[in-house]
């Protein structure tokens, strides 16, 4: 009989930077479950379709395999990943979801410049014209040759932004300085770092290179040493503070982005569509000038190819201030209604790229009752697309779908039904693999219902 320590050790190995170690740990955990030595709960109608992995940044250190296991261990029916600027996690994540029997989807997120909103903030606070934007429903880590340059450009832009931040912050924090290759990249599994990795590297460097880290940070952050000393015992809180003080708006490492800082939406959509995936707009909370014109913004994004909308629900209802909560919750209800009127399925989740983010949204919260079904429908929709695309190349963007299901609403309804009916893992994919261009949508659904 395996004890809890052994299971805990295996779960820790799921997040090792070595892919072989992760694969072996997952295989062993599943073997323990098969022998009845780990009790896996029944799966429930809950979903987290927006989890960052450690290939960009996960605050809890989760790998793609770690997230798949987390979902199965906790009984989530659906889980999706979204990494900044890279598709590195897609292959491992979808394979792990197959093994554990969870419906999985994979995506990418970046910031784009929207010239039509150049004077209005959208969902990147303090940065007019800059928009967090996504692609969902990818089925492979590799991009087709004709668009691989777009993906390479996104990775290089992220690298250059990091180098620029380090150059500015090094000048301010000297003698504590970083070398990107030596100090930052080892904190990542595949050489793609974020601001949060850089912050951690600076905290580690100060602990290593100064006699009194609290005094050092007190001087650099304009705080009392005693206050800093207390915060050093709360690593997550302290790292968020350092990031806010040094790298966000007003900090020495911050530079206001402009029209050339990020890709245009057209290039990003070209990458997404070439991969057979789905361009997905993203909504923050409805309070910015750009998001107060959400109908205009979504009409623009739909014209450019967006077919879904991402929402992070928790920040819009789990709010302490009663009046702010009332306004944000109403904004949430309003944007869900708008998305439904525009036939945009929803992709929802918690991100997990900041300390304190939930592992999954509270689908039983009374505040979410009016939108819960729309959230679940969106999760099943993106899994239905993913399963059809993986098994038969007949996802939402395929010529088959455009011919057989010519409207967005028809496609949304079909892939949502597929997502509910298709079992995760090899059995579900095998059932779909027999489908071809001559199969009708009705035949696809009948095949599942008759089995």
Q: HEC states along the chain?
A: CCCHHHHHHHHHHCCCCCHHHHHHHHHHHHHHHHCCCCCCCCCEEEEEEEECCCCCCCCCCCCHHHHHHHHHHHCEEEEEEEEECCCCCHHHHHHHHHHHCCEEEEEEEEEEECHHHCCCCCCCCCCCCEEEEEEECCCCCCCCCCCHHHHHHHHHHHHHHHHHHHHHHHHHHCCCCCCHHHHHHHHCCCCCCCHHHHHHHHHHHHHHHCCCHHHHHHHHHCCCHHHHHHHHCCHHHHHHHHHHHHCCCCCCCCCCCCCCCCCEHHHHHHHHHHCCCEEEEEECCCCCCCHHHHHHHHHHHHHCCCCEEEECCHHHHCCCCHHHHHHHHHHHHHHHHHHHHCCCCEEECCECCCCCCCCCCCCCCHHHCCCHHHHHHHHHHHHHHHHHHHHHCCCCCCHHHHHHCCCHHHHHHHHHHHHHHCCCCHHHHHHHHCCCCCCCHHHHHHHHHCC
Q: What pLDDT was estimated at residue 449?
A: 80
Q: What pLDDT was estimated at residue 25?
A: 97
- Give the contacts of 250 (CB within 8 A, at least 6 positions apart): none
Q: How far apart are CA 446 and CA 145, in angstroms?
A: 37
Q: What pLDDT was estimated at residue 259?
A: 80
Task: Decide if 200 contacts 185 (C-beta within 8 A).
Answer: no
Task: Decide if 357 contacts 351 (C-beta within 8 A).
Answer: yes
Strands 130-136 and 103-113: antiparallel
Q: What pLDDT was estimated at residue 431?
A: 87
Q: What pLDDT was estimated at residue 430?
A: 87
User: Which segments of the chain have a pLDDT < 70?
Assistant: 1-5, 451
Q: What pLDDT was estimated at residue 82?
A: 98
The residues pairing with 422 across neighbouring beta strands, listed in sequence order, are none
Ordered domains of the chain (ranges, CATH): 40-143+278-433 (3.20.20.140), 152-246 (no CATH)
The residues pairing with 44 across neighbouring beta strands, listed in sequence order, are 76
């Amino acid at each position: 009989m395996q004890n809890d320590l052994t299971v805990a050790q295996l779960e820790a190995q799921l997040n090792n930077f070595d892919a072989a170690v992760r694969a072996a740990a997952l295989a062993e955990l599943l073997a323990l479950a098969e022998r009845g030595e780990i009790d896996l709960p029944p799966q429930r109608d809950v979903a987290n379709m927006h989890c960052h992995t450690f290939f960009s940044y996960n605050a809890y250190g989760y790998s793609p395999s770690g997230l798949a296991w987390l979902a199965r261990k906790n009984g989530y029916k659906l889980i999706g990943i979204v990494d900044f600027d890279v598709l590195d996690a897609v292959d491992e994540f979808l394979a792990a979801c197959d093994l554990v029997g969870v419906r999985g989807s994979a995506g990418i997120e970046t910031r784009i410049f929207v010239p039509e909103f150049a004077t209005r903030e959208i969902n990147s606070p303090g940065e007019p014209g800059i928009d967090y934007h996504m692609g969902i429903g990818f089925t492979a880590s590799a991009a087709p040759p004709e668009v691989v340059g777009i993906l390479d450009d996104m990775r290089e832009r992220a690298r250059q932004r990091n180098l620029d931040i380090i150059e500015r912050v090094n000048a301010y924090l000297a003698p504590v300085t970083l070398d990107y290759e030596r100090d930052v990249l080892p904190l990542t599994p595949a050489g793609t770092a974020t601001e949060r990795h850089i912050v951690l590297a600076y905290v580690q460097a100060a602990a290593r290179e100064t006699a009194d880290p609290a005094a050092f940070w007190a001087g650099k952050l304009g705080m009392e040493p005693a206050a800093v000393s207390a915060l050093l015992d709360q690593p997550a809180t302290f790292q968020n503070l350092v990031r806010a003080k040094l790298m966000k708006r007003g900090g020495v490492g911050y530079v206001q982005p402009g029209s050339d800082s990020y890709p245009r939406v057209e290039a990003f959509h070209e990458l997404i569509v070439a991969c057979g995936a789905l361009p997905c707009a993203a909504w923050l909370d409805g309070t910015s000038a750009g998001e107060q014109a959400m109908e205009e913004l979504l009409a623009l994004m739909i014209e450019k190819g967006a077919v879904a909308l991402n929402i992070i629900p928790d920040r819009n209802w789990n709010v302490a201030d009663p009046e702010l909560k009332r306004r944000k919750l109403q904004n949430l209800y309003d944007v869900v209604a708008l998305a439904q009127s525009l036939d945009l399925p929803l992709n929802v989740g918690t991100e997990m790229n900041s300390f304190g983010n939930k592992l999954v949204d509270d689908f039983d919260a009374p505040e979410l009752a009016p939108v819960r079904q729309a959230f679940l429908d969106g999760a099943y929709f993106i899994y239905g697309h993913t399963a059809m695309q993986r098994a038969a190349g007949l996802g939402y963007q395929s010529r088959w779908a455009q011919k057989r299901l010519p409207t967005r609403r028809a496609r949304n309804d079909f892939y949502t039904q597929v997502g509910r009916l298709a079992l995760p893992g090899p059995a579900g994919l095998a059932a779909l693999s027999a489908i071809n261009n001559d199969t009708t949508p009705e035949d696809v659904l009948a095949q599942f219902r008759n089995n």
